[in-house]
Structures are given as structure tokens and as C-alpha cells.
A and B are shown apart, each in its own frame.
Chain A
Amino acid sequence: MERKRRIKRKWLTGYLFILPSFVGFFIFMALPVIMGFGISLTDYNGFNQFKFVGLSNYINMFKDEYFLISFRNNVLYTLVTVPCTIVIALLLAVALNTGIKGKSVFRTIFFFPTITSMVAVGIVWSMMFHPSRGPINQFLMALGVENPPQWLVSTKLALFSVMIVAIWKQAGYYMVMLLAGLQTIPRHMYEAAQIDGANAFQRFFKITLPMLSPTMFLVVIMSIISSFQVFDLISVMTEGGPGRATNVLVYRIYQEGFKYLRFGYASAMAYFLFIIIMIITLIQYRGQKKWVTYMQ
């Protein structure tokens, strides 16, 4: 009997420790998520309008050309940013892991962009991308390029320019994670492979990548999720323009909600975003069995 009571008290203590954090989570995350779904079924405008409209917000969403454009832009953004960031992060991590001198200095340098303010980064890069006075185009023109790319003021290049900044900012963060992952790979595996006659490429693809796959899995999920949530960079650098070239999902949600006071509609779009991210993450989890190898 005494033992049971002791066990129960341990459980209670455990729950009590979690309680403050859980209360915060519940009030600020779980509750708004549930309420958000409720609001997405109405035509709430922030003030006096609150009528139940069922799923019409969701149905209208798919007929809304503007929404579809921002969804397409976001998918494009993800399809380019995620692979590029991860490849660059991986290459940097592998390079740093080769035991060169000054490893911690380089690690700091590459990680630096991550800790800078997104807004400051956006503003400075906007100035760099200026079509005539910015350093990038001034450099190109000095090399003799007559019509340098218009970067942020061209509908074709604007999203690409934002992607460049995003990759630059995030690569360091994932590099650090991959570096940590690399350091868990036991040396003896490489030595054994070398003895068996494997060259550098084979060692990389047959040992490094598979051993790194748990970390890779995490990195891929995180970067996909964050690429679907891009907002501050867009807001500072292009405000969704020129035209609608860089209008992405979260920016559209912000416009619909806070500029046009269509909170019901904006909530429906936000829920759509939530479902998309969840589906992608579930697919990743299922795929885990196929390509992630966990060490015994």
C-alpha cells in the first residue's frame, strides 16, 4: 500500500511540475487553435459581425485567385529554399568536420546570420538588391553587364531574391545541427571502409549520409515548416509585390485578416496552412521507415 502511495505521489509531483507550462500552452496555443477553427466557420470581422457560415469560407478559398497565387508562390518558395539550404548546410558541415584549423571560428561565422534580426536583414539586403545603387548591381555593371537583373522590382526575380536571403540566413543554423550529427558518427566505420578500399564519395554516400539521416530528418521537417511560415522577410523586402509575385500564404492571411477585416476567411486560410503542414509532416514520419537508419 505504502509503495502505491509513493508512486502516486511521484506522479502527482511530476504533473505539478508540468502544470505551469501546460497551462501556458493550453491558454496560448491549444485554446486559440480550437477557437480559430470555430472562427473559420463564421464571417467574423473583428467587431460586430459574427454569423455562422459553415464551410463556405473553405469553399470560397479554392475559388479565390489571389489565394491560389499565394499558395503557388509558397510552394515554389519551399521547393527551392529547402533543398538549397540543406545542401549548403550539409556541405559546410562536412567541410568543417574534416578537422581543419579554425573550425570554431568558421562555425561562428556561418552561424552568425541566424542570430541577426530578420527585419534588419531584410532591410539591408533590400538596399543591396537596389537595381542601380545597390552594391550587387554596381559590381555587375562594373564588370560590363549592361542590363543587370532587377532583383526585387522584377516579377520574375523578386521571389528568387527573397529566397537567396532566406537561404543565407538559415543555412548556418542547420549546419550546426548537421555538424553535431556528424560528430556522432563513430570513426571506426570510416577506418573500416578505408581499409576495404572505399573512396571519398563512397564513404560519403554509404556511411555519412545514412548515419546522418536522423538529423537530416529533423532538419528537413523544420525547414519545410518554417518555409511555409515565411512572413517577416516578405513584409520587409517586398510587401508581396511587385504585383503579386511574392505574396505568400501567411502574408495573404495577414492581409485578409488585418487589412480587410475578414477574420473568418483568414482563419480558414490559416487552418488550411495547418492541415498542409500536418500532412507533409505525416508523410515524412511514414517515410522515416524507408530512409532513416537509426543506430542500434
Chain B
Amino acid sequence: MKIRKISALLLGLILTCSLMFTACGNPSSKSTNEKNNKETAKEEKGTSDETIELEFYIWSDEENYISKVVEKYNAENNRNVKINLTTIPNDDYDDKMKVLLSGGANVDIIDIRGLSQVSMYVETGTLLDITDYVATSNLDISNYGPMWETSVQDGKTYSLPTRTTCWMLIYNKDIFDANGIEMPEQLTWTEYGELAKQLTSNDIYGGYWVPWIFQFAAIQRGVYLNSDDTSALRESIELLNQFYNIDKSHMSYAELSATNADYLAEFENGNAAMLPNGEWVINMLLQDAAAGKTDVNWEVAPMPIPDGVEPGTTWGQFQFAGINSATKYPEEAFDFLSYLCGPDGSAIYAEAGMIHAYSGEEAEEAYKQAVGKESVSVIFNAKKIQESPLDSNYDEISAAWNENVQLYLLGEKTIEETMDKFLSQRESIVKE
């Protein structure tokens, strides 16, 4: 009887403990991370009682290079500041940050995904106005390039750019060589379509177009989802329909959305000859090659353009970082922000094979060295148009756009029905 009692008690204890561990899954890994950070920081600084700790939240894709910036900053700064990095998975990041911030969590510095998120944070008063800090700092704003102007609101600065993304055409040189084709200097979308059809065979897709940005060709013409003249939007999705459903030179939308296929895996396995995508793919290719997961022979070409658009035109956006308006240490937070978004961050990003917004010749050289391919100069010569404009309704308009285009690409609605439905939904969103 006694053994039974004891074993019952023990079982109950084990069950409760395992419940607690599963419930506290994430925080426990975070605290081990913090412990490691604390220990390394302590070793380098000795015992300092007045360490100011700042909480910096990022999304998981950014971890491998931002952690290097944080490490270096923690080691080098002379203000006794320690940055604690917290990573949240990509898909949950935007929503989770909103919840954390509205709940008043202890957040000092925020990594922000794109302009529409910035304008949402500004509207809700979450970001600190850093216009004065920037004016008196050493940062040379002109280094952010022309896209910077489209990012500022009413002359006030609420965030600084970290990364700049750039979309381009990545292709599998081996497949091209096997077909005896040389990649021309600049393709138009029509030529791209022809090429993709040519390269498509039983086991290879000529191209692979991810379903994230249906209005790409319109952006290259400077037309957005909230523009008045929507003929360019229509042109863009008709192009996609051509690739997915008519030529069948790309994995169809139905398959793409059903599989959640890993676009990079398809390219790395040689199942797709061309991949229009962003520069982060280069970083991922380098990592996978270093880990021995792939040996695909990739090169970069400029993004194809619609007829009549200047060669080299493509789209991209900034990713930003900002300071929580409720922070207790604005000066120290800004010191780290200018480190992350300035020349120091830029150098560290280049070594990791990422492109920083703070451009400069050294960064370009360092990047080319790190990647080891001449063709990446395409990125630095590109004429980039900002992916999305500053518009607080843009998130909702995008959602309406995506829902309608999905139905069109699945063949359930005609192009006229799609455009009409989208425009009427857009009208009711703007009216609210």
C-alpha cells in the first residue's frame, strides 16, 4: 500500500512538472539565452553594478546577423549598456509584438518589418520621436539613399532603416548551360516568360514565383494598390496567370499554397531554373552551401522589367528599427540604434552576407568579398522602388487584394470580376 501511495505521488509530481515545462517552453529557452549573454558580458566587463539592460525584440529570420551586432555592441560600448535579444518566430512576429506593446511589456527597441508596420506604430504612439537625436548624431542620412524620403512622415523620424531588401532574378547556371542559353543583360517580362517556357521540362519548372507580392509588375511602374489607375495591377496578375496556368512554366498557385513549398529548397534541388526573389536568398544560399546542404551553381541577374520601364528597375523596401516611446533609457537606446543602423551595423551585416541600408563603398566591397560572386553587383546598381507606400489602410487593402487575386489565380473568377470586386472592397475600406 505504501509503495502504491508513493508511486502515485511521484507520478502526480512528474505530471505537474512536465505540464509546467511545456507551458513555459519559450521563456525557459529565452532565459538560458539570457544566462549565456549575461555570463559572456560579465566576463568582459568584470562586475559592474550599474549595467543598464535594454530589451531588443527581433523576428527569427534576422537572428543570425543581428546577434552578431548585439554581441559586438555589448562588448564595445562604454555606457555600461547590455542589450538582451529576444527572438520571436517570423509568422507570429507582427501580431505578437502588437500584443506585447499594447500590454505594456518591457520593450525598449523594436525590429520593425516594413513601412506599413512603422506607420501603424506611429499612429498608435508606440514609437519615440527621434528626429532630434538623429540630427545631433553622427549619422549621414544621405547614405540611406533616395528610398529614405519615402519613409519619413511629416518631417519627423520615428525609426531608422536596418536592412534594405532588393528583389532580383536568381538563376541556376548549370541548367542554362545545359540548354546552351546565355542569360541576357536585361530581360523583359515577356522574354522571361518565353525563357521559362523553353526551360520547362518534365522535372524542371522554368521558374518559381512565390505568392507574396502579386502586384510586382505594377510596382515597377510606380503603381500601388491604392493608386487610381489600376491597369498596371491588372497587367501584373495577368502575367502571373500566364506563368502559372497558361504556360504552366511555374508551379501553379494551387500547388504553391497547398504545399507551403520551400521556395529555396525547390531552387537548391534544381527543380526550378529561375527564382525571382529577394537578396536574403543569397544569405540563405551561402549558409546552406556552408552546411553542405546544396551545391547549386547560382548567379544573379537583374529583375525582368515591364515594357517601357528603365532597365535595372526593381522593388525593395527598408526594414526598420525603432525605440519604444515608453522606454526608460531613450539616450542609451538611441546609442544602440545608431550603432545598429549606422556604419558599424553596416560592416557587420556585410560580413554576414546581408545588405545594410547604410550604404557605402566599403560595405559593397565587403559584401562582394563575403559572397564571392561578381554578379551580385546587380543589387548595388538596381533602381529600387519602395515596395509599399505610407498608407495606414494599406494592410487591409493588401488583404482584400490578396484574397481576390487568389481566386483569380485558382481559376475561380475572371479578371474583370477580380478587379471589380477588389475596387469595390477597396472603396469601402478607404471610406471607414
| Chain A interface (Cβ < 8 Å from any Cβ of B) | 45-49, 65, 126, 129-134, 150-155, 241-244, 258-261
Contact at A259–B395, with CB atoms within 8 Å? yes
Name the contact of A129 in the complex, choosing from B99, B253, B258, B404 (C-beta under 8 A): B258
Contact at A48–B254, with CB atoms within 8 Å? no
> Bound state CA distance, A153 and B125, in angstroms?
39
Chain B residues positioned under 8 Å from A131 (CB to CB)? 254-255, 258
Chain A CB count within 10 A is highest, among B253, B258, B412, for: B258
Supplied contacts A46-B102, A243-B407, 12 more A-B pairs, CB within 8 Å? A47-B101, A47-B102, A47-B124, A151-B258, A153-B254, A154-B412, A241-B257, A242-B257, A242-B403, A242-B407, A260-B395, A261-B120
Query: In the complex, which residue of chain B has the Cβ closest to the Cβ of A238?
Result: B257
> Bound state CA distance, A260 and B392, in angstroms?
10
> Bound state CA distance, A131 and B404, in angstroms?
21
Main secondary structure of the interface of B (DSSP, over half): helix
> Bound state CA distance, A131 and B253, in angstroms?
11
Report the number of A-B residue pairs with Cβ-Cβ less than 8 Å: 68
Known: A46-B98, A46-B102, A261-B120. A132 touches B255 (CB 8 A): yes
Query: In the complex, which residue of chain B has the Cβ closest to the Cβ of A44?
Result: B102
Name the contact of A154 in the complex, choosing from B101, B395, B404, B410 (C-beta under 8 A): B410
Chain A residues positioned under 8 Å from B412 (CB to CB)? 154-155, 242-243
Contact at B395–A241, with CB atoms within 8 Å? no
> Bound state CA distance, A155 and B403, in angstroms?
11
Chain B residues positioned under 8 Å from A47 (CB to CB)? 101-102, 124-126
> Bound state CA distance, A155 and B407, in angstroms?
8
B396 near A: Cβ within 8 Å? yes
Contact at B258–A130, with CB atoms within 8 Å? yes
Would you mind naming 22 contact pairs between A and B with Cβ atoms under 8 Å apart?
A46-B101, A46-B102, A47-B102, A48-B124, A48-B125, A65-B428, A126-B258, A130-B259, A150-B254, A150-B410, A153-B254, A155-B407, A241-B257, A241-B403, A242-B410, A242-B412, A243-B403, A244-B403, A258-B99, A259-B395, A261-B102, A261-B124
B95 near A: Cβ within 8 Å? yes
Chain B residues positioned under 8 Å from A129 (CB to CB)? 258
> Bound state CA distance, A230 and B251, in angstroms?
32
| Chain B interface (Cβ < 8 Å from any Cβ of A) | 94-95, 98-99, 101-102, 120, 124-126, 253-255, 257-259, 395-396, 399, 403-404, 406-407, 410, 412, 425, 428
> Bound state CA distance, A126 and B396, in angstroms?
26
Name the contact of B410 in the complex, choosing from A49, A151, A155 (C-beta under 8 A): A155
Name the contact of B98 in the complex, choosing from A49, A130, A132, A258 (C-beta under 8 A): A258
Query: In the complex, which residue of chain B has the Cβ closest to the Cβ of A244?
Result: B403
> Bound state CA distance, A134 and B259, in angstroms?
9
Chain A residues positioned under 8 Å from B407 (CB to CB)? 155, 242-243
> Bound state CA distance, A261 and B120, in angstroms?
9
> Bound state CA distance, A46 and B395, in angstroms?
17
- Min Cβ gap B395→A in Å is 7
Chain A residues positioned under 8 Å from B410 (CB to CB)? 150, 153-155, 242
Query: In the complex, which residue of chain B has the Cβ closest to the Cβ of A265?
Result: B432
> Bound state CA distance, A133 and B259, in angstroms?
9
Chain B residues positioned under 8 Å from A46 (CB to CB)? 98, 101-102, 124
- Min Cβ gap A49→B in Å is 8
Query: In the complex, which residue of chain A has the Cβ closest to the Cβ of B408?
Result: A243
- Min Cβ gap B37→A in Å is 30
Chain A residues positioned under 8 Å from B125 (CB to CB)? 47-48
Query: In the complex, which residue of chain B has the Cβ closest to the Cβ of A242?
Result: B406
Chain A residues positioned under 8 Å from B253 (CB to CB)? 153
Query: In the complex, which residue of chain B has the Cβ closest to the Cβ of A154?
Result: B410
Chain A residues positioned under 8 Å from B428 (CB to CB)? 65
Chain A CB count within 10 A is highest, among B102, B120, B125, B404, for: B102
- Min Cβ gap A238→B in Å is 9
Known: A155-B410, A155-B412, A242-B410. A260 touches B396 (CB 8 A): yes
- Min Cβ gap B210→A in Å is 16
- Min Cβ gap A64→B in Å is 9
Contact at B258–A152, with CB atoms within 8 Å? yes
Shortest beta-carbon contacts, A-B, top 4: A46-B102, A47-B124, A153-B254, A48-B125
Name the contact of A243 in the complex, choosing from B95, B258, B404 (C-beta under 8 A): B404
> Bound state CA distance, A129 and B425, in angstroms?
31
> Bound state CA distance, A237 and B126, in angstroms?
33
Chain A residues positioned under 8 Å from B399 (CB to CB)? 259
> Bound state CA distance, A137 and B228, in angstroms?
43
Contact at B257–A153, with CB atoms within 8 Å? yes
Chain B CB count within 10 A is highest, among A126, A130, A133, A153, for: A153
- Min Cβ gap B181→A in Å is 28
Chain A residues positioned under 8 Å from B94 (CB to CB)? 259
- Min Cβ gap B119→A in Å is 12
Query: In the complex, which residue of chain A has the Cβ closest to the Cβ of B254?
Result: A153
> Bound state CA distance, A242 and B255, in angstroms?
12
> Bound state CA distance, A116 and B95, in angstroms?
26
> Bound state CA distance, A258 and B259, in angstroms?
26
Query: In the complex, which residue of chain B has the Cβ closest to the Cβ of A137?
Result: B258
Chain A CB count within 10 A is highest, among B94, B95, B120, B412, for: B412
> Bound state CA distance, A258 and B95, in angstroms?
6
Chain A residues positioned under 8 Å from B120 (CB to CB)? 261
> Bound state CA distance, A242 and B412, in angstroms?
10
> Bound state CA distance, A151 and B258, in angstroms?
9
Chain B residues positioned under 8 Å from A244 (CB to CB)? 403
> Bound state CA distance, A49 and B253, in angstroms?
40
Chain B CB count within 10 A is highest, among A47, A126, A131, A155, for: A47
> Bound state CA distance, A259 and B99, in angstroms?
10
Query: In the complex, which residue of chain A has the Cβ closest to the Cβ of B402?
Result: A241
- Min Cβ gap B327→A in Å is 15
Chain A residues positioned under 8 Å from B101 (CB to CB)? 46-47
Name the contact of B258 in the complex, choosing from A48, A153, A260, A261 (C-beta under 8 A): A153
> Bound state CA distance, A134 and B258, in angstroms?
10
> Bound state CA distance, A130 and B312, in angstroms?
38
